[in-house]
Amino acid sequence: MLVMDGFEVTRETRSIEREPGFSRQTPESHTLAVIVALTGLAGDRDWEKAYAASVDFFITKPVQFEGLERLLKQYEDGTLWSSGHLSG
């Protein structure tokens, strides 16, 4: 049985997305996954590990629903990538 943590899953997902035909930039190509780390880990090292693995956003528990709602609204509006990284 293969066991992976969220960082490893993110790295594997990004590896697949680096294959030809995947791009966030062109609407006619495949869209990359938006990866949100929802975690109880809140230390600086955890943030660094998450972003090194190519997580898009990092939200810590307990979840502040205003931040999560803002992130989802920005995704829906198409303004998510202009907002920078969101921390919970």
Whole-number pLDDT of residue 28: 55
Contact criterion met (CB below 8 Å) for 22 and 30:
yes
What is the DSSP secondary-structure string of 30-74? BPPP--EEEES--SHHHHHHHHHTT-SEEEESSP-HHHHHHHHHH
Prediction pTM value: 0.69
For the chain, what is the domain count?
Answer: 1
Residue 33 forms part of a structural domain:
yes
Question: Which pLDDT belongs to residue 44?
Answer: 85
Tens digits of per-residue pLDDT, 16-71? Answer: 888 887 666 655 555 778 888 888 877 888 888 888 999 988 888 888 888 888 88
- Domain encompassing residue 69: 6-82
Whether residue 88 lies inside any domain: the answer is no
The CATH number of the domain holding residue 76 is: 3.40.50.2300
Count of beta carbons in the 10 Å neighbourhood of residue 12? 12
Above 60 in pLDDT, residue 83? no
Q: Is residue 76 part of a domain?
A: yes
